[in-house]
Amino acid sequence: LLKAAEEYKTELENIPHNFKASFNLSRVYRLLNREGDELQYLKMTIEIAPRFPLSYFYLGRIYLNRGQNFEEAVSLVKKGIDLKPDKKDLPLGYFLLADLYNRLGNDSLSAEYAKKGQELVQANSRNR
């Protein structure tokens, strides 16, 4: 994984606007449990490609896992959903919102988004 991280860094040095390299680098750092680096490259991905929805989901997930900035995380995840991610990725957004609203004490919105996520998972599995 460290080799992959170095390769993505080299790619970004050569092509600084390559959002796939910055996003993939953030994923590598997640696997290496280097959350600070993951956060940095997710933010870079959003700067490079503000219409790429998964960056918003994963940034919101970091805030959720840290137990901080829940309102900001909700805004990030909703923005990711508004950007119309692939059908296979959309349930993640709904499940993140369900968890965030649960932490914020809004049980009805939490249940609503959990249901939406589950319905999409079931629909996606039927369409395979």
- Distance between CA atoms of residues 47 and 83, nearest Å: 15
Flag whether pLDDT at 25 surpasses 90. Answer: yes
- Distance between CA atoms of residues 53 and 67, nearest Å: 22
pLDDT band, very low/low/confident/very high, at 55 (cuts 50, 70, 90): very high
Q: Give the total residue count for the chain.
A: 128
Give the predicted TM-score (pTM) of the model: 0.93
Average pLDDT over residues 103-109: 98
Average pLDDT over residues 2-28: 97
pLDDT > 90 in the chain, percent: 96
pLDDT value of position 81: 98
pLDDT band, very low/low/confident/very high, at 72 (cuts 50, 70, 90): very high
> Within 10 Å of residue 8's Cβ, how many Cβ atoms?
22
Flag whether pLDDT at 126 surpasses 90. Answer: no
pLDDT band, very low/low/confident/very high, at 127 (cuts 50, 70, 90): confident
Domain positions in the chain: 73-128
Give the residue from 116, 91, 113 showing the smallest Cα distance to 102.
Answer: 113
